[in-house]
Amino acid sequence: MINRVVLVGRLTRDPELRNTNSGNAVCSFTVAVDNRTKNPDGSKSTSFIPCVVFQQQADNVGKFTRKGSLVGIEGRLNQRNYQKQDGTKASVLEVICDNVS
């Protein structure tokens, strides 16, 4: 099985850098990527892809990128399920980044 993602896009907001209880850095951000297809009115369509990066790469993304930064991402898709505070189940599809340039 192959699970590989390569994206080039711009950050929609400043990345969120935090540390886990064990001290590992985790950085979350969203990348806006233009689609090849257009909307029915002829305007371009955009996908907003949530991404997560860990450890040293997370520190670098948090320090050196800001909203609007152009980034290249290599990673894999990950789907996780969790329970919200109100008791309903939710699912998130995100890119776990191996490399962010």
Evaluate if residue 17 carries a pLDDT over 90. Answer: yes
Give the model's confidence band at 20: pLDDT under 50 very low, under 70 low, under 90 confident, else very high: very high
What value does the mean pLDDT take over residues 33-41? 88
- What are the helix (H) ranges across the chain? 55-64
Average pLDDT for the chain: 95
Integer Cα distance of 9 and 7 in angstroms: 6
What pLDDT does 95 receive? 98
Give the model's confidence band at 42: pLDDT under 50 very low, under 70 low, under 90 confident, else very high: confident
For the chain, the straight-line distance linking the first and the last C-alpha, in angstroms and rounded, comes to: 26
